[in-house]
């Protein structure tokens, strides 16, 4: 899980504002990608979900609910699958002996698989270190 920062003017006053949100684009366990089943006759599985819902952990605090997020999948050819549509949800976290807090989170609803990628299967191949 990571934190995404953006500047947007999507508000009633059309004012520029900085927003932070949690994002969970793909599980860190690379073995999970090996378990994705691509339908017969297809070369891609654009999205996948974990087999069971899980609680999110952030800064030592756990989400009050369990979630089953959608992740972008893989292709057998040289295409990469990246988020296409998403929405914002609010996650509540409880901290041991410290109360609770809420964070907005990017929630992937669909992914698209395209040929414009440097490293097939690596959704982060386009990132550059500044």
In the block, which residue shows the tokens 């698989």?
Answer: 113
pLDDT digits (tens, 9 = 90+) for 30-78: 677 677 888 888 888 888 888 889 999 988 999 999 999 999 888 888 8
Distance between CA atoms of residues 46 and 23, nearest Å: 18
Q: At 67, give phi and psi (nearest 5°).
A: -130, 155
Answer whether residue 120 is part of any domain. Answer: no
Answer whether residue 120 shows pLDDT above 60: no
Answer whether residue 11 is part of any domain. Answer: yes
Answer whether residue 125 is part of any domain. Answer: no
Number of domains in the chain: 1
Q: At 25, which CATH number?
A: 2.10.90
Buried b (16+ CB within 10 A) or exposed e, 37-64: eeeeeeebbbbbeeeeeeebebeebebe
Answer whether residue 58 is part of any domain. Answer: yes
For residue 15, give its domain range: 2-114
Q: Which residues pair with 85 in a beta bridge?
A: 110
Answer whether residue 65 is part of any domain. Answer: yes
Answer whether residue 105 shows pLDDT above 80: yes
Q: How confident is the model at residue 121 (pLDDT cuts 50, 70, 90)?
A: low
pLDDT at 118: 66
């Amino acid at each position: 899980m990571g934190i995404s920062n953006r500047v947007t003017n999507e508000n009633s006053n059309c004012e520029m504002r900085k927003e932070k949100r949690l994002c969970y684009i793909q599980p860190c366990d690379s073995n999970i990608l090996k378990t994705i089943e691509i339908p017969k006759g297809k070369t891609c599985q654009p999205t996948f979900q974990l087999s069971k819902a899980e609680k999110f952990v952030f800064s030592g605090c756990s989400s009050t609910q369990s979630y089953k997020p959608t992740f972008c999948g893989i292709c057998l050819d040289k295409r990469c699958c990246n988020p296409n549509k998403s929405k914002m949800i609010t996650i509540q976290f409880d901290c041991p002996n410290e109360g609770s807090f809420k964070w907005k989170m990017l929630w992937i609803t669909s992914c698209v698989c395209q040929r414009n990628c440097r490293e097939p299967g690596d959704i982060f191949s386009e990132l550059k270190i500044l």
